[in-house]
Amino acid sequence: MPAAELPGSIEPKPRLPGSVEPKGQLPGSVEPKGQLPGSVEPKRRLPVNTESLTPAALGSRLRGVLGVHPPSTFPLASPTWPGGVPRPPLEPTLGMDFDTEWARRYPVRLARVLVSELVARPAVQALAAPRVSGLDRITHLDEPVIFAANHNSHLDAPLLLSVIPERWRHRMFVAGAADYFFDTRVKAVTFAFLLNAVPIERQRVSRDSANRVAALLTEGWSLLIFPEGGRSQDGWGQPHRAGAAWLGVRTGRPVIPVHIEGTRQILSKGSSRLKPGTTHVTFGRPLRPMAGDDPRALAAEVELAVAALADEQTTDWWTARRRAAARTTPSLTGPEAGAWRRTWALAERSSRARRRPSRRGSGAGRWPRD
């Protein structure tokens, strides 16, 4: 007679013929369910050490199999840093700290001239078809100068470097935003080589960048700078900052206002698609600062001069001069209105732009010198 079972206990189930009887179990454990005939009892898996599967561990095993053992002591191996000694901070090499002196050495300058004359200028001529006015206003200059232009597109700098006279073109550097053109090493090297760009701060006044640019102007280099500090958001200009004027006052170099029209239609801000078109570059009368001049007043004068050049492009020389004399030149920044009104006014101004007959790049056939 079977022994009495406790209340609530589980009665063992009958086993199938041929099944393997499990080994003894601990008290209180649950008996596994029946298995099919011929089945194999699963084995317990050993824990896997995931650290042995890291690339470093696998590489160490592979070197051991191949019999390749790297040197473990200096100078055959890299030196180790003492654990108790704090590491010094890494010196920054991008942004304002990117060194561009190599871009002004003779071999690099020669390579840049070849790229400019054989590749860049023909490409700009084919893409933008620039028409140039006002060269007769700067023919008497033979010293380093500061070209201050409005800014609508990334095409502005290559366009100006293709039409500026040769006596300045091959000994010129471009002021580039340190936070945009020098934020990665690839971009920094590219723009330093192609444009001879030098990093400057556009968000705040930096004495280091100002001193660097002023030193290059003193050494005989000319400067191309965009006083607006960035490309136009909607096609209208932005208020000028005093950087170009301050450099002119400090170095005594003349500031030449320049107006560019048409580059936004070819390559607008935020777009990567090029649309071939026509551009117009107008050079203004040089503004020569005097010692002790107020840079802010000179910056306002440069902005008015660029606005007068824009007015000259949309009307004619005589009308633009009359407005400039009366201080009624339309502002570069456009009307103080909503976005749709500014867009409409910009389209109206572009439609009034006149194409003046003249020989491209020469002084003949230009409007009178002022």
Position 313 scores a pLDDT of 84
Position 192 scores a pLDDT of 95
Contact 304, 254 (CB under 8 A): no
Position 366 scores a pLDDT of 43
The answer to whether position 51 is within a domain reads no
pLDDT tens-digit profile of 251-260? 999 999 999 9
- How many distinct structural domains can be found in the chain? 1
Q: Where are the beta strands (DSSP E) in 28-143?
A: 130-133
Q: Which residues of the chain have pLDDT under 70?
A: 1-53, 55-56, 63-77, 205, 337, 340, 342, 344-370
Position 56 scores a pLDDT of 66
Position 28 scores a pLDDT of 54
Per the structure, the complete domain to which residue 158 belongs is given by 95-351
Position 318 scores a pLDDT of 87
CATH code of the domain covering residue 178: 3.40.1130
Alpha carbon separation from 32 to 10, 14, 22, 49, 209 (Å, rounded) = 12, 12, 9, 29, 79
Alpha-carbon gap, residue 144 to 121, rounded angstroms: 22
Contact 205, 175 (CB under 8 A): no
Position 362 scores a pLDDT of 41
**Count of Cβ atoms closer than 10 Å to residue 189 Cβ:** 15
The answer to whether position 3 is within a domain reads no
Task: Name the pTM for this structure.
Answer: 0.71
The answer to whether position 87 is within a domain reads no
Q: What secondary structure letter does DSSP report for 336?
A: S
**Count of Cβ atoms closer than 10 Å to residue 216 Cβ:** 21
Position 38 scores a pLDDT of 60
The answer to whether position 225 is within a domain reads yes
The answer to whether position 363 is within a domain reads no
Contact 201, 96 (CB under 8 A): yes
pLDDT tens-digit profile of 119-156? 999 999 999 999 999 999 999 999 999 999 999 899 99
Alpha-carbon gap, residue 65 to 73, rounded angstroms: 21
| Token reading at 142 | 């033979």
Tell me phi and psi for residue 132, to 5 degrees. Answer: -115, 135
Residues in the chain: 370
Position 119 scores a pLDDT of 95
For residue 191, give the H/E element and its range: helix 185-195
Position 118 scores a pLDDT of 95
The answer to whether position 60 is within a domain reads no
Position 306 scores a pLDDT of 94
SS (H, E, C) 102-131: HHHCHHHHHHHHHHHHHHHHHHHHHHHCEE
The answer to whether position 332 is within a domain reads yes
Position 140 scores a pLDDT of 93
The answer to whether position 368 is within a domain reads no
The angle, 0 to 180 degrees and rounded to 10, between the axes of the packed helices 243-251 and 207-218 is 50
